[in-house]
C-alpha cells in the first residue's frame, strides 16, 4: 500500500477528532459560552447537517483542482473553522464555526476516498479505502478521549487549538508525502458528473449506506445509558467498554477492507445480516452483562466497518470522482442523523432497549435494498439462448427444389469438409465418395 494512503488517513483522523470533540466537552462548553447543555448538543447536529448538505456543494468548485491542491484548500477552510471555534466569544460564533468545519470535513472525506482509489490498483481499492477510514476508526477510539482529556485539563478551547495544530501537521504531511495527481474529473464538465449521479443503479445503492450506518448509530449514540441502565455497568467501566468497542471497529475495518474488492455485495449483505442479529441479541440480552458486551462488540465488528465495501460498490456503479464520493459520504452522514435522531425518539417512547430494536430494523431494511443487486447477479449467471434468424443464418438456409418445392433445411459445411463428403456418381457405377473420385470427375468435366 502506498505511504501516501496512510498520510490521507491522518487527515481523516484530524477531521473526526474535531467532530467528536464537542461530545466530550459539553458541560465545559455550556459554561464557557453561557448556554445550556442541550444547546451545545445542537452543535453536534449542526456539524452533521453541514456535512450532509454542505459537503457536496463545497466539493463542486474543487472538481477542477488537482486532488492534493483540493485537500490543501480544505485543510485551510477546516483550520479557519477550528480557530474560530477556539476563540468563539458567543454561541452564535461557535455555531458558524461548526457549520464551516462540518462542510469542509465532508468534502475532505469525498476527495480523500477518491484520491486513495486513484493511488492504488483497481483490485486493491477496497483495502485502500479501509486504510483511509482507519483514520475514522482511530479517531473514534483515541481522538474523542484525547480531546476530552485536553479540555478537562486545560479548558475546552485548548481542544480546538490542538485540532488546529494537528491540522497544520496533516496538511504539511499531505503536501510533502502525497504525489501530485491530475484533477479527478480530468476536465469533464459538471453536467457529466451530475449525469453519473443520476444513474438508477447508483441512486438505489445510496440508501443502503444510509441504512447500514443508521442502524449502527441508533445504538451507538445511546451506548452509555444502555450500558449503565439495563446492563448494569458502573459509569467508570463504560469508557473501557467503549475502548473495546473502538478496537473491534479497527479490526472489523481491516477484515472488510481485504474482502471488499472481491466480494463487495456479499460482504455488505453479511454485515447487514449480522448487525441485525447482534442488535436484536443486544436488545434481548441487555440485562445479561456478558451477552450484552458480546453483542456490542459484534456490532463494532460489522457496523460502521462495512464502509469500505459500501464505497467500492458506489464507485463501481458511479465513478471514483470526488463528487460521487462526497455525495456518498453525505448519505452516510444522513445515516448518522437518522440513527441518532430516531434512536432518541424510540428511547423516549419505549425505553432504553428501543434504539437497539430500531437499529435491527434499519439493518433489515438495508438488506432489502440489496435485492436489485441479487437479481442482476442471477441474470448474469443465467445461460443466454442463441437468438438466430433462420432467414439470415447460413447454418439454417433452406434449399429450394424448383420441381418439388422447399426442401428440409440444409446445413452449410466448410469448403474442405464439403469437398471430403461430396458424392460423385460415375455414369454406370456406384457413387465414388472418395476425394480421388471427386478430383477425377472434375478433370473429366474440364476435358469435356
Q: What is the pLDDT of residue 376?
A: 77
Q: What is the pLDDT of residue 436?
A: 45
| Under 8 Å between Cβ of 344 and 213 | no
Q: What is the pLDDT of residue 152?
A: 80
Q: What is the pLDDT of residue 210?
A: 95
Among 209-213, 313-317, 388-392, whose mean pLDDT is lowest?
Answer: 388-392
Q: What is the pLDDT of residue 128?
A: 87
Q: What is the pLDDT of residue 208?
A: 96
Show Cβ contacts of residue 79 under 8 Å, excluding neighbours closer than 6 positions. 164, 167, 168, 171
With a threshold of 0.75, does the pTM exceed it? no
In terms of pLDDT, which residue wins out, 391 or 239? Answer: 239
- Mean predicted confidence (pLDDT) in 272-283: 97
- Mean predicted confidence (pLDDT) in 196-202: 89
- Mean predicted confidence (pLDDT) in 91-117: 92
Secondary structure class of 327 (helix, strand, coil): helix
Is residue 307 over pLDDT 60? yes
Q: What is the pLDDT of residue 391?
A: 52
- pLDDT band of residue 447 (cuts 50, 70, 90) is very low
Q: What is the pLDDT of residue 238?
A: 83
3-state secondary structure the chain: CCHHHHHHHHHHHHHHHHHHHHHHCHHHHHHHCCCCHHHHHHHHHHHHHHHHHHHHHHHHHHCCCCHHHHHHHHHHHHHHHHHHHHHCCCHHHHHHHHHHHHHHHHHHHHHHHHHHHHCCCHHHHHHHHHHHHHHHHHHHHHHHHHHHHHHHHHCHHHHHHHHHHHHHHHHHHHHHHCCCCCCCCCCCCHHHHHHHHCCHHHHHHHHHHHHHHHHHHHHHCCHHHHHHCCCCCCCCCHHHHHHHHHHHHHHHHHHHHHHCCCCHHHHHHHHHHHHHHHHHHHHHCCCCHHHHHHHHHHHHHHCHHHHHHHHHHHHHHCCCCHHHHHHHHHHHHHHHHHHHHHHHHHHHHHCCCHHHHHHHHHHHHHHHCCHHHHHHHHHHHCCCCCCCCCCCCHHHCEEEECCCEEEEECCCCCHHHHHHHCCECCCCCCCECCHHHHHHHHHHHHHC
- Mean predicted confidence (pLDDT) in 235-242: 83
In terms of pLDDT, which residue wins out, 151 or 400? Answer: 151
- pLDDT band of residue 324 (cuts 50, 70, 90) is confident
In terms of DSSP H, where are the helices of 351-413? Answer: 354-368, 371-381
Q: What is the pLDDT of residue 392?
A: 52
Is residue 414 over pLDDT 50? no
- What is the average pLDDT score of the chain? 82
Is residue 404 over pLDDT 50? no
Which element (helix H / strand E) includes 418?
Answer: helix 415-421
* Eight-state DSSP code of residue 180: P
Q: What is the pLDDT of residue 83?
A: 96
- pLDDT band of residue 428 (cuts 50, 70, 90) is very low
Secondary structure class of 325 (helix, strand, coil): helix
CATH code for the domain defined by 196-384: 1.20.1250.20
The share of the chain scoring above pLDDT 90, in percent, equals 39
- pLDDT band of residue 215 (cuts 50, 70, 90) is very high
Q: Where in the chain is the domain with CATH 1.20.1250.20?
A: 1-181, 196-384
In tens, the pLDDT along 336-392 reads 889 888 888 898 889 989 999 999 999 999 999 998 888 877 777 777 665 555 555
Question: Distance between CA atoms of 127 and 280, rounded to whole angstroms?
Answer: 30
Q: What is the pLDDT of residue 287?
A: 92
| The residue to which cell 483550520 is assigned | 79
For residue 400, list its beta bridge partners.
406
Q: What is the pLDDT of residue 14?
A: 93
User: In degrees, to the nearest 5, what angle opens at C-alpha 242 toward C-alphas 241 and 247?
Assistant: 95
Is residue 300 over pLDDT 50? yes
Is the dihedral angle over the CA atoms 395, 397, 398, 399 positive or is it negative? negative
Residue 318 C-alpha cell reads as: 458511479
Is residue 282 over pLDDT 50? yes
Among 66-70, 76-80, 205-209, 437-441, whose mean pLDDT is lowest?
Answer: 437-441
- Mean predicted confidence (pLDDT) in 179-201: 73
Q: How many CB atoms lie within 10 A of CB 8?
A: 29
- pLDDT band of residue 183 (cuts 50, 70, 90) is low
In terms of pLDDT, which residue wins out, 186 or 348? Answer: 348
Is residue 437 over pLDDT 70? no
User: Which fold does the domain 1-181 belong to in CATH?
Assistant: Growth Hormone; Chain: A; (1.20.1250)
- pLDDT band of residue 135 (cuts 50, 70, 90) is confident
| The residue to which cell 443508521 is assigned | 214
Which element (helix H / strand E) includes 281?
Answer: helix 264-284
Amino acid at each position: 500500500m502506498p505511504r501516501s494512503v496512510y498520510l490521507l488517513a491522518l487527515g481523516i483522523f484530524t477531521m473526526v477528532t474535531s467532530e467528536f470533540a464537542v461530545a466530550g466537552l459539553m458541560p465545559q462548553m455550556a459554561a464557557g459560552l453561557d448556554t445550556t447543555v442541550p444547546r451545545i448538543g445542537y452543535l453536534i447536529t449542526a456539524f452533521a447537517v453541514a456535512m450532509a448538505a454542505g459537503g457536496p456543494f463545497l466539493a463542486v468548485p474543487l472538481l477542477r483542482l488537482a486532488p492534493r491542491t483540493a485537500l490543501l484548500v480544505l485543510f485551510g477552510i477546516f483550520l479557519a473553522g477550528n480557530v474560530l471555534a477556539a476563540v468563539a466569544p458567543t454561541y452564535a460564533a461557535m455555531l458558524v464555526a461548526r457549520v464551516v468545519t462540518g462542510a469542509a470535513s465532508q468534502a475532505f472525506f469525498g476527495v480523500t476516498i477518491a484520491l486513495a482509489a486513484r493511488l492504488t490498483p483497481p483490485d486493491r481499492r477496497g483495502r485502500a479505502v479501509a486504510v483511509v477510514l482507519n483514520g475514522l476508526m482511530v479517531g473514534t477510539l483515541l481522538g474523542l478521549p484525547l480531546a476530552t482529556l485536553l479540555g478537562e485539563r486545560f479548558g475546552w478551547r485548548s481542544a480546538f487549538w490542538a485540532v488546529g495544530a494537528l491540522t497544520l501537521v496533516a496538511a504539511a504531511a499531505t503536501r510533502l508525502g502525497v504525489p501530485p495527481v491530475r484533477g479527478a474529473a480530468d476536465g469533464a464538465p459538471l453536467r457529466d458528473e451530475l449525469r453519473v449521479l443520476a444513474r438508477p443503479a447508483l441512486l438505489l445503492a445510496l440508501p443502503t449506506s444510509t441504512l447500514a450506518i443508521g442502524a449502527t448509530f441508533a445504538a451507538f449514540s445511546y451506548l452509555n445509558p444502555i450500558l449503565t441502565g439495563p446492563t448494569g455497568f458502573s459509569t467508570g467501566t463504560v469508557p473501557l467498554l467503549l475502548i473495546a468497542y473502538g478496537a473491534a471497529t479497527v479490526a472489523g475495518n481491516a477484515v472488510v477492507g481485504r474482502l471488499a474488492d472481491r466480494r463487495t455485495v456479499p460482504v455488505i449483505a453479511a454485515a447487514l445480516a449480522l448487525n441485525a442479529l447482534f442488535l436484536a441479541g443486544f436488545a434481548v440480552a441487555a440485562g445479561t452483562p456478558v451477552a450484552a458486551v458480546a453483542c456490542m462488540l459484534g456490532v463494532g465488528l460489522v457496523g460502521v466497518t462495512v464502509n469500505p465495501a459500501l464505497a467500492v460498490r458506489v464507485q463501481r456503479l458511479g465513478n471514483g470522482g470526488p463528487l460521487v464520493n462526497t455525495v456518498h459520504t453525505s448519505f452516510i452522514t444522513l445515516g448518522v442523523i437518522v440513527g441518532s435522531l430516531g434512536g432518541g425518539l424510540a428511547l423516549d417512547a419505549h425505553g432504553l432497549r428501543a434504539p437497539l430494536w430500531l437499529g435491527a430494523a434499519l439493518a433489515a431494511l438495508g438488506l432489502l435494498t440489496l435485492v436489485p443487486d441479487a437479481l442482476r447477479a442471477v441474470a448474469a449467471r443465467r445461460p443466454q439462448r442463441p437468438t438466430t434468424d433462420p432467414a439470415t443464418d447460413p447454418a439454417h438456409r433452406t434449399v429450394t427444389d424448383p420441381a418439388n418445392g422447399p426442401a428440409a433445411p440444409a446445413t452449410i459445411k466448410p469448403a474442405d469438409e464439403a469437398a471430403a463428403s461430396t458424392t460423385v456418381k460415375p455414369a454406370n457405377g456406384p457413387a465414388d465418395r472418395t476425394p480421388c473420385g471427386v478430383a477425377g470427375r472434375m478433370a473429366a468435366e474440364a476435358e469435356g
